[in-house]
Amino acid sequence: MKKILVLTSVLFTIFVFSQERQESEKIIQEIQQVKQSNSSMKLVWWIPTEYWQIAMQKQDNITQAQVDYIKDAFDPYTIIVAGDFSLEQSFTGLEFKVNNIKNSFALLDEKSAKVPPLKESEIDEMVVRMINDILKPLFGQMLGKTGTGVEVFIYKNRNSTGQKLLDPTKKGELRTKVGADLFKWTLPLVSLMEEKTCSIDQIKFPGNYLYCPFHGNKL
Ligand SMILES: [Zn+2]
């Protein structure tokens, strides 16, 4: 129980303060995708293990042992948070509605078949508790009705030989669907690549740049 309390404060600090920190902002912009229209909003947030390291590494009140504990716990899994919301006309005006996403959400494999999420009994007990007791309530506190309306989907992220199925630092692709809407990530994540520096004026560019856009030299 004490461990859970420590983790609650750790995770809470991450979410509250991560907005102010540049490096975690960059990765958040990449791992969160939102599709909006006038009357609907769909959101898919992939939370790779690397996110926890970046979000927690500069916190004075968090030890590296605590960071490692959370990373090790989440690392065997692919964790995706998703929500489907709409605005509907009602008697009293526009009404914010949370749509059931459990059946409309899908993680797709390379053949575009739906990957089944893990059952709770197939997931480490501590991970289930961290997600149900800490993460889900936090989303509610931070994002109100949007936050309480999200679902957390958990998938296996190891093949039979122990390799990661999805590695945000390597070439690959992550594709998910909410209803008919496709949410796609091309990997590696740029925020996890080392920045490149122009040899002429030492200006830094994102890691996926091949040439300096000002001088044309190879980076
Ligand atoms: Zn340059």
Q: Within 10 A of 31 (CB to CB), how many other CB atoms are there?
A: 21
Confidence of residue 5 (pLDDT cuts 50, 70, 90): low
pLDDT, position 7: 56
> From ligand 1's centre to the CA of 215, what distance in Å?
4
pLDDT digits (tens, 9 = 90+) for 67-115: 898 899 999 999 999 999 998 888 888 888 899 999 999 999 999 999 9
Q: According to DSSP H, which parts of the chain are helical? A: 2-18, 22-31, 49-56, 64-74, 125-129, 136-148
Task: Give the model's confidence band at 128: pLDDT under 50 very low, under 70 low, under 90 confident, else very high.
Answer: very high
Residue 191 CA to ligand 1 center (angstroms) comes to: 20
Q: How far is the CA of 206 from the centre of ligand 1 (A)?
A: 13
Quickly state the pLDDT bin for 38 (edges 50, 70, 90): confident
Res. 145: pLDDT tops 80: no
Q: Report the distance separating Cα 153 and Cα 115, nearest Å.
A: 11
Ligand 1: centre distance to CA 207 (Å): 14
The mean pLDDT value of the chain amounts to 87
205 to each of 82, 168, 196, 198, how far by Cα in Å? Answer: 31, 19, 5, 8
125, containing H or E segment? helix 125-129
Percent of the chain having pLDDT more than 90?
Answer: 56
Ligand 1 centroid, distance to 22 Cα (angstroms): 23
Output the six-digit token pair for 70.
Answer: 């959370």
Are the C-beta atoms of 167 and 157 separated by less than 8 Å?
no
* Cis ω before 76 (30° cut-off from 0): no
Round to whole Å and give the CA distance between 15 and 25.
Answer: 11
Q: How far is the CA of 210 from the centre of ligand 1 (A)?
A: 11
CB 197 within 8 A of CB 204: yes
Q: How remote is the CA of residue 212 from the centroid of ligand 1, in Å?
A: 5
Residues by chain with Cβ below 5 Å of ion ligand 1: 198, 200, 212, 214-215
Position 60 pLDDT exceeds 80: no
